[in-house]
Structure 1
C-alpha cells in the first residue's frame, strides 16, 4: 500500500489532528477501498480518531473506537453523496486548474468545509449529508483550523 498523505487536515489550537481528509477525484470500487485503507493507515499513524474519505461523488466518515491498537478499530460509520457543485466539470473555464482537476477538487472540498465551519448551517444540505456531518463532526470543524496538508500547484494566469 502506498504511504497516504492527507489532502486536508483539521488541526486543534494545540496542533493535534482533529480530522484528516483524503480526497480522490475518481470513484470506483477498488480505488474507493484503497482510499479508505490509506485513510485508516494515516489515522492510525497520526493518532486521529476521525477521518473523511472523499471519493468522487461520495463522502465516507471513519471513526476509531480506540478499542484496539494500530488502527484495527477504525471503521466506516457512514456514507453520503456530495453536492454536485463540488465536482469539477470537464469544461471548467478556470485557467488556474486547467489540466489538474484532482487539485481543483481538493481545493473545492477545502473551501466547502471552511464554508460549513463559518455558517454552521446544515439545513441546506441533503438529509444523508446532514446526518453524516452532524454535531460531533461540526464541533471539530468549528474548533480546529482547516488547511491543506501540503502544497497545491496550479497554473497562474500570466
Structure 2
C-alpha cells in the first residue's frame, strides 16, 4: 500500500477545501510514478482536480467521482509548458534545482490568476487548463503544500 504523500503545491478555497493539487517533477523521467502518486493523494484528500508538472509537460487529471477510492480519476490531457512561461525562482531557492523549479511553477500558477497571462498561453496549454481550472486558480489561494528548506535555513 502506498503511503499518503503530500503534493508540492496546493490551491485551496477560503474555507480550506482543496481545489487543485499539483505534483511537480523537474524532469519527465518519473511521470508514471508522479501520476500514480497524484491519483492516490487526490483520492485520499478528496480533491477532484490534479496537475502533474513534469519538466516541460503539464498533465491534467480529474476525478469524475463516479467510483470510490480514486478509481474514477483519469487523465484529461496534457500540454507543453515552455520554460519561457515560468517566472524566475525566488532568490532563496537558487542552488537546489528541484525546489527552484517547484517555486517557478508556483509563481506561474499565481500569475495565471491574471487574465492577461491566460491570453499569452500557447493554444494547447490554454485549451488544457480551460476556464474551469483558471477559475479555481482565481478563487483559490496558491501555496506550497509544505515547507521548502532554503540554504539559509540549514
TM-score, length-normalised on structure 2? 0.90
1:2-44, Cα deviation, whole Å (9 max, x unpaired) = 542101000011110000000010212xx10000000000000
1:5-154 matches, cutoff 5 A: 5-28=6-29, 31-85=30-84, 86=86, 96-119=92-115, 121-154=117-150
- What is the CA distance between 1:87 and its match in structure 2? 9.0
- What is the CA distance between 1:123 and its match in structure 2? 1.4
Between Structure 1 and Structure 2, how many residues are aligned?
Answer: 151
1:52-72, Cα deviation, whole Å (9 max, x unpaired) = 011111010000011100000
Instruction: Indicate the larger mover: 71-80 or 115-124.
Output: 115-124
TM-score, length-normalised on structure 1? 0.88
Query: Are the equivalent residues in 2 in contact too, given 1:56–1:87 (CA < 8 A)?
Result: no
1:69-125, Cα deviation, whole Å (9 max, x unpaired) = 00000011010111213398xxx9x86334310000010000000011134641111
- Name the CA distance, whole Å, in 2 between partners of 1:111 and 1:53: 15
Query: Are the equivalent residues in 2 in contact too, given 1:51–1:62 (CA < 8 A)?
Result: yes
The runs of at least 4 aligned residues of structure 1 exceeding 4 Å deviation read none
**In structure 2, do the counterparts of structure 1 residues 120 and 13 end up closer, same or farther at CA, with 3 Å as the change threshold?**
farther
Give the 3-state SS of the residue equivalent to 2:121 in structure 1.
coil
Structure 2 residue ranges without an equivalent (≥5): none
Q: RMSD of the alignment, in Å?
A: 2.1
Give the 3-state SS of the residue equivalent to 1:51 in structure 2.
strand
